[in-house]
Amino acid sequence: MFKEFGWQNETQVENTAGTTGKSLRMEAIKINNTNPDFKISYRAHVESVGWQDWVEQGNVAGTTGKSLRMEAIQIRIENLSSVYNVQYRVHIQGIGWQGWKENGEVAGTTGRSLRMEAIEIKISKKTEFSVAYSSHIESIGWEEQQKYNGVISGTTGKSLRLEATKIRLLNKPSPNAKIQYNVYIERTGWSGWKEDGQTAGTTGKSLKLEAIKIQLLNLNEYSVKYRAHIQGTGWTPWVKNGTQLGNVNSGLRIEAIEVKIVHKSSEQKEESIKRGVDVSTYQRTIDWKSAANDENVEFAMIRAGYRGYGTKGTLMTDEKFKTNIEGALENKIDVRSILFHSSDNRRRSSRRGKLCFKLGKGI
């Protein structure tokens, strides 16, 4: 139901219902499900009313004949939610299309007097076992979108603390599988183990998280791996299965986390691969602080020198070697040095290796 239009013709899944670019409010919605395997329920947040009760199977959410805008919506699958996934996004006045929400998350806004103008809905069968998580961030609140399997939750470079987190499993291979997490709260201590979407931490108290532990239960074939971005330190190495990240009573805030589920059969292969950068004077001036915050920079290969052209092949020092290696080390990036050369015998190779060692000595 839309301002000036009334009820639109029925729209199929994955198509747009509503309008964009016309400044017309959505006033009501009906969602019909033709799949007999499951039911869909939904509710609307309405101007001057707030959240309505849940309705299902073609009933009206919202209002008609009252000129009241819909401001937000929640949609969920009532049964077989472990098998099917409902995703939806809405077009909001002054914002445009929001990111996709799923399975009962709030799409839209509340308390901002912004109208919903359009909606898209899609339903799919769940297949991949993964983890979803979100953080409550200083001055921001809860993130609008959940993060999944290794995506950053929180912020870097903004000096904002995490105050709480929620973590849950998606498409669990066993109904008994659980994920648990425990956070250390400033001036409070450990929160105690929370699980499957419960809030760990506080909101409205301006208290930072200083440490976190995450573990899986009843999932012997999988590991949970996680890392944190710590005030003044940057990204920690990945840890797993209940290991503590961060330091209690340190006064150092956690600013972001990343969490992922890994099958143990692929874990060894994953741990043997590192991502890094190969740099020399040709990359000019490098922002090593930004590099340290980049998840793709786990090490730096820094050119120490090279063999010049010609028959004499004079050994030359890379002009940026000292600057680069000091910048990387100051920002706690693992470093390796390399000297480019060609040699036709072991003695020359040994001499050039000693030169590489000499250049790095004392740094």
Higher pLDDT, 214 or 345: 214
Residue 63 has a pLDDT of: 96
Would you say the pTM of this structure is higher than 0.85? Answer: no
Does residue 328 sit in helix, strand or coil? helix
Higher pLDDT, 283 or 168: 168
Domains and CATH numbers, the chain: 16-125 (no CATH), 130-271 (no CATH), 276-360 (3.20.20.80)
Residue 312 has a pLDDT of: 57
Maximum distance among all Cα pairs of the chain, rounded to whole angstroms: 91
Q: What's the pLDDT tens digit per position in 185-207? A: 999 999 999 999 999 999 999 99
Between strands 194-195 and 200-201, the pairing is unpaired
**Per-residue confidence at 172, pLDDT binned at 50, 70, 90?**
confident
Stretch 51-67: mean pLDDT, rounded? 94
In the chain, % of residues over pLDDT 90: 52
Q: What's the pLDDT tens digit per position in 284-332? A: 888 888 888 776 788 888 887 776 655 556 777 888 888 888 888 888 8
What are the distances in angstroms from CA 176 to CA 91, 168, 169, 173, 196?
A: 38, 13, 11, 9, 11
DSSP symbols for 37-106: T--EEEEEEETTTEE---EETT-EEE-SSS---EEEEEEEESS-TTTEEEEEEEEETTTEEPPPEETT--
Token readout for 54 is: 């849940």
Per-residue pLDDT at 273 exceeds 80? no
**Per-residue confidence at 127, pLDDT binned at 50, 70, 90?**
low
Q: What's the pLDDT tens digit per position in 216-255? A: 999 999 999 999 999 998 999 999 999 999 999 889 999 9
* Whole-number Å distance between alpha carbons of 213 and 180: 8
* Whole-number Å distance between alpha carbons of 289 and 356: 25
Q: What's the pLDDT tens digit per position in 76-121? A: 988 666 567 899 999 999 999 998 898 899 999 999 999 999 999 9
Stretch 143-159: mean pLDDT, rounded? 89
